[in-house]
Amino acid sequence: MNVEKFNYDNQIVKLFLIATIVWGIVGLLVGVIIATQLYIPELNLGLSFTTFGRLRPLHTNAAIFAFVGNAIYTGVYYSLQRITKARMFSDVLSKINFWGWQLIIVLAAVTLVTGITTSKEYAELEWPIDILIAVVWVVFGVNMIGTLMKRREKHIYVAAWFYIATFVTVAVLHIGNSIELPVSLTKSYPVYAGIQDALVQWWYGHNAVAFFLTTPFLGLMYYYLPKAAN
């Protein structure tokens, strides 16, 4: 009898886990700084880069997209390989996903503290970074769907459906809310105006909470809770 051997890509899981811890600490520290600034305003040090208005969006983006984003990737890359009994579709795409996401985080940090922003809650990043986010997210989706297509397990476990839903909805939300008219490399204007802009922005904002901060973790719970309960 022929026995087919394969191994999981745990290295990418470790990389995302390390990034999760690092960015979690960074986001927490920035949060402590801006909370303290509310009581001691002098802690802004008289610099534009360290004012509350610059650090507050840095804190929210670090907490949501750097910390939680990397945590999602960690859980998905670990669990997906095991519920499909297959290695990730492409090691190259996995690495592009990891390094691309870390690049986005660094670019976000630099632009936010220097005041380069669209001024839209949870969508402050300018159009070049928005495009990069879309590209990296599609890389993640292709890698995930490719893994599902080459799975050794016939049944698609429920967690995978939550992962698919996350990929599709976050892509639609991000692209739909980030349609902009660039006027320079660091400045753009939304195609929506007035009430329409506000409606689209909070269609994105509230659903981002639902589909980026909730849906993937429901999938992860369907994998990890039964494991923990043995």
Backbone phi, then psi, for 120, in 5-degree steps?
A: -105, 125
Distance CA 2, CA 9 (A): 23
What beta strand segments (E) does the chain contain? 180-184, 187-190
Domains belonging to the chain, first-starting first, are 10-229 (1.20.210.10)
Rounded to the nearest 10°, the torsion over CA 6, 11, 13, 14 is: 150
Q: Check residue 42 and report its DSSP letter.
A: G
Q: Which two tokens stand for residue 130?
A: 């928005």
pLDDT of the residue at 64 = 96
Backbone phi, then psi, for 187, in 5-degree steps?
A: -145, 135
pLDDT of the residue at 50 = 94
Q: Which two tokens stand for residue 93?
A: 């795409």
Tens-binned pLDDT, residue by residue, of the chain (230 aa) = 566 777 999 999 999 999 999 999 999 999 999 999 999 999 999 899 999 999 999 999 999 999 999 999 999 999 999 999 999 999 999 999 999 999 999 999 999 999 999 999 999 999 999 999 999 999 999 999 999 999 999 999 999 999 999 999 999 999 999 999 999 999 999 999 999 999 999 999 999 989 999 999 999 999 999 989 98
Helices (H), 40-126: 52-61, 69-84, 91-113
Give, in order, the Cα–Cα distances in Å from 102 to each of 59, 84, 156. Answer: 16, 27, 30
Distance CA 73, CA 30 (A): 23
Distance CA 61, CA 109 (A): 8
What is the identity of the amino acid at 99?
Answer: W
Q: Is 1 helix (H, G, I), strand (E, B) or coil?
A: coil
The Cα angle at residue 81 between residues 75 and 83, in degrees rounded to 5: 90
Q: Check residue 154 and report its DSSP letter.
A: S
pLDDT of the residue at 226 = 93
Residues 170 and 141 sit within 8 Å (Cβ to Cβ): no
Distance CA 125, CA 133 (A): 10
pLDDT of the residue at 6 = 76
pLDDT of the residue at 2 = 67
Q: Check residue 115 and report its DSSP letter.
A: T
pLDDT of the residue at 59 = 97
pLDDT of the residue at 157 = 97
pLDDT of the residue at 81 = 97
Residues 23 and 105 sit within 8 Å (Cβ to Cβ): yes
pLDDT of the residue at 77 = 98
Give, in order, the Cα–Cα distances in Å from 220 to each of 13, 14, 53, 99. Answer: 14, 17, 34, 23
